[in-house]
């Protein structure tokens, strides 16, 4: 750490203002101020007309030893076009630059602040740290800000995995606790003395709080005082009524916002600390960019046991101070267990963990990593170009094209992200392990309002995939204006990626109906992945076949038609993740008869041979036939099957992909009988390999992809043969080696094997 005579200058940027309500950025600011000159910069307050002529910053000192910086936007940003908002932001950066001294300066930002997007505050002596504590992945400038930062600090493993694809200098540092915020002895005349025995809920009182659950707790324990602290946020009427009901209870007291010094006294005196949101599925690692355990540490720092609806992701403290509820009733019961002494806080375990996340230690670690990053950068600059050339010449004998590390992958899909998972979704997730993936959803039909919706929207999935959506710029008129619309949209996507700091994208399309000119997006590498037999009905399919660097075919039977257009045509089949191959969890299903259940998963539409389905269902009434997926059926026989006519048929809605494996693992077999007169029904099936990955027998119509694998699936188009095959299997079973044959085939279809053998490498 620097000495008092050699202090660093650190500008710390926060969305929340300096005040009594403290978040992690406030704790970092106060801790950094002990050994550094710290300027705390939050967002300007709401715009006023007088701000038109505001060209200065206000600086005030606070008792924690840091300077709070206040400035005003000269124009209201929310109403400005991007180019004008950028100019206002540049002007704000000029205001802040007046405070920047000569020498080394660190800009430490807890959000992708716009004032650091320009070079106004950046020079050879400035360093930028992006400290990710909240889910900002859907913000327009999040990716570009992370890429341009010298260091990215991630507070949990989900953020670490996501941001490492944007910036190699990304490191994991969890939330911390200041040593001065840990007290183990009750001070004299403590604020807690007047309340007797009480529970405490300290949080922002927003729409995310489970007010109904807190009401249940207060009613279950009428002799326990419930102290509630935190800022009141505007709510929808029904939530505001619930919050008012809570505050009206005789054993509930709302104390408003308290300074951290007062808060810690109140927490220290509490019998139990509460975290009350929606019940979160229990997990030891975060599965999405969600809540973080800062409030847990606030409680535990005072040796106050925590009952929570949410995961803490602090494995050493689970059931040793943090008690996670599985249901709301369980939550209410856990409070009683703590109050009655059946659950106790393990002081040694809590103190040991808190010692490891002391803010001074975390700050020292972050600044050490920053210095290492700068040292590595200087070393890399010193390496001569001749040495780099020598290294690259001897590094590898692999002559395939190497996709640059900075290249994102654009997946263009004819099916949106929110729905059944097909190959395009699964390839997006698999490729996300190598590069940042943008998944471009199909657009809705054009409407006049789209003329005023030119922007590209982004949201980030729990898997870390960035979903891009857009509106068609003009009506397609039956496809006549499709190429012009594609050119406009491609230019918008290219401009959007440039703003995100992306360059040299890999264009990987599964959709021949749109965006069929990779050059318009500025693709470094382009792939057309044919996952359906489109039979060249789309004009764009021929264009993609000619213009893309590579054509991938999901089935070998599709390859010959493309070889006259492209010299690089490859068999790249449906793939399996490692999780697909893991043994599914066996458990009881109400649908399981003595013989087991047959399972269909996927879209339920008129492409299916419902006549054969009906024959099997009627002939084998002792078997439960489970049908899972969204329904869009007009066929008379199909409607009868899904309408409840047959008691041995169970219809279930679409389930999440994560639950399909267990559903398959508990099935006796899978089935997929399609109409033979539809070309797309004749090549391959993602559903088939999902069943093979669990070693399950599969009964289906004829698919060319499995024709050379005798016995792999029970495959026929003839009704009589299908009925005979199924009856034979049901009566006599199958060869002992059949399951292993299916698993062996599935292992070869794992994404690791597929992606290792592409005509290029990551």
Q: What's the pLDDT score for residue 398?
A: 78
Cα atoms in the Cβ-side hemisphere of radius 13 Å centred on 167 = 27
Tokens 């807690």, located at residue: 192
CATH assignment of 403-571, among 3.40.50.720, 4.10.490.10, 3.40.50.300, 3.40.50.2000: 3.40.50.2000
Give me 287's structure tokens: 């599965």
Planar angle of CA 122, 127, 132, nearest 5 degrees? 110
Contacts of 79 (CB under 8 A, 6+ apart): none
**In the beta sheet, which residues pair with residue 129?**
108, 151
Q: What's the pLDDT score for residue 5?
A: 46
Contacts of 746 (CB under 8 A, 6+ apart): 576, 580, 581, 689, 692, 693, 695
Closest CA relative to residue 553, chosen from 573, 538, 534: 573
Distance of alpha carbon 123 from alpha carbon 722, whole angstroms: 73
Distance of alpha carbon 496 from alpha carbon 69, whole angstroms: 32
Classify residue 391 by burial, with Cβ atoms within 10 Å: 0-12, 13-18, 19+.
exposed
Contacts of 96 (CB under 8 A, 6+ apart): 11, 41, 57, 69, 71, 115, 121
Query: Does domain 179-356 fall into CATH 3.20.20.70?
Result: no
A 10 A CB-CB count for 668 gives 17
Beta strand ranges found along 441-536 (DSSP E): 457-460, 466-469, 506-509, 525-530
| Cα 288 from chain centroid (whole Å) | 5
Distance of alpha carbon 681 from alpha carbon 675, whole angstroms: 7
Closest CA relative to residue 69, chosen from 94, 33, 91, 44: 44
Give me 615's structure tokens: 């024959």
Closest CA relative to residue 467, chosen from 442, 492, 502, 430: 442
- The arrangement of secondary structure in 583-751, i.e. its CATH architecture, is 3-Layer(aba) Sandwich (3.40)
Give me 334's structure tokens: 């856990």
Beta strand ranges found along 367-489 (DSSP E): 401-402, 409-412, 437-440, 457-460, 466-469
Q: Does the CA dihedral 506-510-515-516 come out positive or negative?
A: positive
Distance of alpha carbon 603 from alpha carbon 629, whole angstroms: 5
Contact 111, 14 (CB under 8 A): yes
Distance of alpha carbon 699 from alpha carbon 725, whole angstroms: 8
SS3 201: strand
A 10 A CB-CB count for 63 gives 6
Q: What's the pLDDT score for residue 517?
A: 94
**Using the 8-state DSSP alphabet, how is residue 681 labeled?**
G
Q: What's the pLDDT score for residue 188?
A: 66
Distance of alpha carbon 572 from alpha carbon 552, whole angstroms: 6
Q: Mind giving me the DSSP string for 150-196? A: SEEEESSHHHHHHHHTT-S-EEE----B-GGG---SPPTT-GGGGG-
Closest CA relative to residue 687, chosen from 587, 558, 574: 574
Contact 118, 148 (CB under 8 A): no
Contact 158, 285 (CB under 8 A): yes
First to last CA, the chain: 39
Contact 200, 304 (CB under 8 A): yes
CATH topology of domain 4-172: Rossmann fold (3.40.50)
Distance of alpha carbon 749 from alpha carbon 551, whole angstroms: 19
Distance of alpha carbon 585 from alpha carbon 663, whole angstroms: 9
| Residue 324 φ then ψ, to 5° | -90, 130
A 10 A CB-CB count for 685 gives 23
Distance of alpha carbon 98 from alpha carbon 501, whole angstroms: 28
* 179-356 and 583-751 share one fold: yes
Distance of alpha carbon 182 from alpha carbon 298, whole angstroms: 9
In the chain, which residues have pLDDT < 50? 1-5, 589-593
Give me 746's structure tokens: 């599935």
Helices (H), 253-383: 260-268, 294-300, 328-339, 347-356, 359-382
Tokens 């292992």, located at residue: 747
Contact 442, 536 (CB under 8 A): no
Domain spans of the chain, in order of start? 4-172, 179-356, 403-571, 583-751
Closest CA relative to residue 710, chosen from 727, 685, 690, 735: 735
| CB burial readout 288-327, b (16+ within 10 A) else e | ebbbbbbbbbbbbbbbbbbbbbbbbbbeebbebbbbbbee
| Cα 390 from chain centroid (whole Å) | 40
Q: What's the pLDDT score for residue 479?
A: 83
Distance of alpha carbon 474 from alpha carbon 246, whole angstroms: 51
SS3 531: coil
């Amino acid at each position: 750490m620097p000495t008092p005579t050699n202090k660093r200058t650190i500008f710390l940027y926060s969305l929340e203002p300096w005040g009594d309500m403290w978040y992690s950025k406030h704790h970092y600011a106060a801790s950094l101020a002990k050994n550094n000159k710290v300027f705390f910069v939050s967002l300007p307050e709401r715009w006023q007309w007088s701000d038109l002529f505001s060209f200065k910053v206000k600086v005030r000192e606070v008792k924690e030893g840091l300077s709070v910086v206040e400035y005003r936007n000269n124009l209201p940003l929310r109403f400005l076009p991007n180019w004008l908002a950028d100019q206002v932001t540049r002007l704000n950066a000029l205001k802040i630059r007046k405070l920047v001294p000569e020498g080394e300066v660190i800009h430490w930002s807890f959000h992708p602040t716009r004032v650091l997007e320009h070079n106004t505050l950046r020079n050879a002596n400035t360093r930028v740290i992006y400290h990710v504590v909240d889910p900002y992945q859907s913000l327009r400038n999040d990716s570009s800000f992370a890429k341009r930062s010298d260091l990215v600090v991630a507070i949990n493993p989900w953020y670490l995995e996501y941001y490492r694809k944007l910036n190699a200098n990304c490191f994991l540092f969890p939330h911390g606790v200041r040593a001065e915020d840990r007290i183990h002895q009750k001070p004299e005349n403590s604020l807690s003395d007047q309340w007797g025995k009480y529970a405490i809920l300290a949080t922002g009182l927003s729409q995310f709080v489970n007010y109904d659950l807190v009401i249940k707790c207060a009613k279950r324990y009428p002799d326990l005082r419930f102290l509630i602290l935190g800022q009141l946020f505007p709510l929808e009427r029904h939530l505001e009524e619930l919050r008012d009901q809570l505050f009206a209870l005789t054993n509930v007291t709302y104390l408003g916002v308290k300074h951290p010094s007062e808060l810690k006294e109140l927490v220290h005196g509490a019998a139990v600390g509460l975290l009350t949101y929606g019940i979160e599925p229990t997990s030891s690692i975060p599965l999405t960019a969600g809540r973080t355990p800062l409030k847990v540490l606030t409680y535990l720092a005072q040796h106050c046991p925590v009952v929570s609806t949410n995961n803490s992701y602090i494995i050493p403290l689970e059931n040793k101070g943090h008690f996670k509820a599985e249901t709301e009733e369980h939550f209410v019961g856990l409070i009683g267990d703590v109050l009655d002494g059946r659950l106790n806080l393990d002081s040694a375990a809590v103190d040991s963990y808190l010692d490891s996340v002391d803010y001074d230690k975390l700050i020292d670690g972050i600044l050490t990593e920053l210095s290492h990053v700068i040292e590595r950068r200087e070393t890399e600059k010193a390496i001569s170009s001749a040495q780099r050339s020598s290294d690259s010449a001897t590094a590898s004998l692999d002559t395939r094209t190497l996709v640059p590390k900075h290249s994102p992958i654009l997946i263009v899909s004819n099916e949106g992200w929110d729905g059944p998972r097909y190959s395009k979704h699964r390839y997006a997730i698999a490729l996300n392990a190598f590069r940042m993936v943008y998944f471009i959803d199909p657009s809705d039909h054009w409407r006049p309002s789209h003329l005023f919706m030119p922007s590209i929207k982004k949201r980030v999935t729990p898997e870390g995939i960035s979903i891009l959506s857009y509106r068609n710029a003009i009506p397609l008129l039956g496809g006549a204006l499709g190429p012009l619309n594609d050119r406009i949209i491609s230019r918008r996507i290219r401009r959007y990626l440039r703003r995100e700091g992306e360059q040299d994208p890999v264009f990987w399309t599964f959709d021949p109906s749109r965006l069929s000119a990779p050059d318009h997006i500025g693709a470094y590498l382009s792939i057309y992945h044919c996952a359906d037999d489109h039979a060249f009905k789309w004009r764009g399919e021929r264009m993609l076949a000619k213009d893309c660097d590579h054509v991938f075919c999901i089935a070998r039977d599709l390859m010959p038609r493309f070889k006259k257009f492209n010299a690089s045509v490859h068999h790249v089949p449906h793939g399996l993740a490692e999780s697909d191959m893991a043994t599914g969890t066996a458990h009881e299903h109400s649908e399981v008869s003595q013989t087991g259940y047959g399972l269909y998963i996927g879209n339920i539409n008129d492409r299916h041979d419902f006549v054969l389905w009906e024959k099997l269902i009627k002939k084998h009434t002792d078997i439960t036939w489970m049908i899972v997926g969204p329904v869009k059926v007009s066929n008379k026989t199909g409607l009868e099957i899904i309408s409840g006519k047959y008691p041995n048929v169970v219809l279930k809605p679409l389930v999440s992909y994560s639950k399909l494996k267990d559903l398959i693992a508990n099935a006796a077999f899978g089935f997929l009988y399609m109409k033979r007169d539809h070309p797309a029904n004749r090549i391959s099936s993602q559903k088939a390999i999902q069943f093979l990955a669990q070693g399950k027998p599969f009964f289906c119509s004829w698919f060319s992809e499995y024709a050379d694998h005798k016995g792999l699936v029970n495959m026929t188009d003839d009704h009589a043969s299908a009925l005979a095959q199924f009856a034979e299997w049901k009566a006599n079973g199958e060869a002992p080696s059949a399951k292993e044959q299916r698993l062996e085939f599935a292992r070869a279809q794992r994404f690791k094997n597929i992606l290792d053998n592409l005509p290029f490498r990551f």
